[in-house]
A and B are shown apart, each in its own frame.
Chain A
Amino acid sequence: MSIPIEHVISLSALLFVIGVVGALTRRNLIVILMSIELMLNAANLALVGFNRVWSVTAEGAARYDGQVFALMVIAVAAAEVAVGLGILLSLIRNRDSLNVDDASLLRW
């Protein structure tokens, strides 16, 4: 017996919301980046779950749309972390702080 898809999606949504809350409430840039990683993971979970649902074509051949999509997300996540940490270093260097609110020069 397989895991019901509703449960997978619910877990995915829960993790995503935890990521959103973290990204919105914490001021620490590292934690925010981690929260974003968490959101991406939640999305991956949904993608893999859906791939499980639509796993074969009408002819019985395997389909990997969801899993390939998840792979791409992982790659983009790696790229995003590289750039995000670069920004983080730059912030430390210029503001001597990890607080995102300190980087609010570009405003009205």
Chain B
Amino acid sequence: MSFEMFLFYAFAFLAVFSAVAMIGFVRHIVAAAMSLVVTMVSLAGIYVLMHAELIAAIQILVYAGAIVVLFLFVIMLLDLRDGGLGPAARGQNLVKAVGVGGTVTIGTLVVASVSGVFSVNPLVESLPEGFGEHRALGIALFTDYALAVELVGLVLLASIVGAVILAKRKID
């Protein structure tokens, strides 16, 4: 097992473990948010392993740095005394959900392997210089994908307006 593979499995284990912790057994809502941060940072590490350095950076900046902080702001705003998690997940539902989820996962993997989507293209070992770094991706974003960038900006604007309207105390 190469070092790369070791890192991947380590990050993967961290991600899965903290994700399960987030939905399953943490007692406090802040702990859940922290688990989410762990998952996201782990994923950022995997992105680096896959030569997506800019994505990894943005993952940490936006998710860990912005989104989860936003969650925490709201949690603090609400001043939750009982941990905020309310009634624990219903046991029956959890069993059902795990059954459905496991079936779906295994089914997806089996279908995917059988249909051979993963083996169509052999991995290219010698990537172009600077692959996945900010310069190359930035050029791609502002040339080929300029329209998508503009549109996503519009989506963000709309969501900001929507969030402001929703968060206002009174609609007047």
Contact = CB atoms under 8 A, between A and B. Distances in A.
A26 B23 contact: yes
A71 B71 CA distance: 20
B132 A56 contact: no
Interface string B56-97: 001100110011001100110110100011110110011001
Contacts, number: 234
Given A11-B12, A17-B105, A38 B85 contact: no
Given A18-B101, A98-B84, A86 B166 contact: yes
A80 B43 CA distance: 20
B2 interface: yes
B156 interface: yes
Highest count of chain A CB atoms <10 Å: which of B16, B20, B43? B43
What range describes how many residues of A lie at the interface?
A: 35 or more
A20 B28 CA distance: 20
A13 B127 contact: no
A99 B84 CA distance: 10
Contact of B43 (A44, A54, A92): A44
Contacts of A35: 22-23
B163 A83 contact: yes
Main secondary structure of the interface of B (DSSP, over half): helix
Highest count of chain A CB atoms <10 Å: which of B132, B156, B164, B166? B166
Contacts of B10: none
B71 A33 contact: yes
Given A15-B15, A26-B89, A52-B123, A7 B8 contact: yes
A45 B43 contact: yes
B172 to A, nearest CB: 15
11 contacts: A13-B108, A17-B104, A25-B23, A30-B84, A34-B33, A41-B40, A54-B121, A68-B140, A75-B155, A80-B159, A83-B163
Interface of B: 2, 4-5, 8, 12, 15-16, 19-20, 22-23, 29, 32-33, 36, 39-40, 43, 46-47, 49-52, 54-55, 58-59, 62-63, 66-67, 70-71, 74-75, 77-78, 80, 84-87, 89-90, 93-94, 97-98, 100-102, 104-105, 108-109, 112-113, 118, 120-121, 123-125, 127-128, 131-132, 136-137, 140-141, 144-145, 148, 152, 155-156, 158-160, 162-167, 169
Kindly list the 8 A-B residue pairs having the minimum CB-CB distance in the complex, ordered from nearest. A86-B166, A22-B23, A79-B159, A17-B101, A82-B163, A86-B163, A21-B97, A64-B140
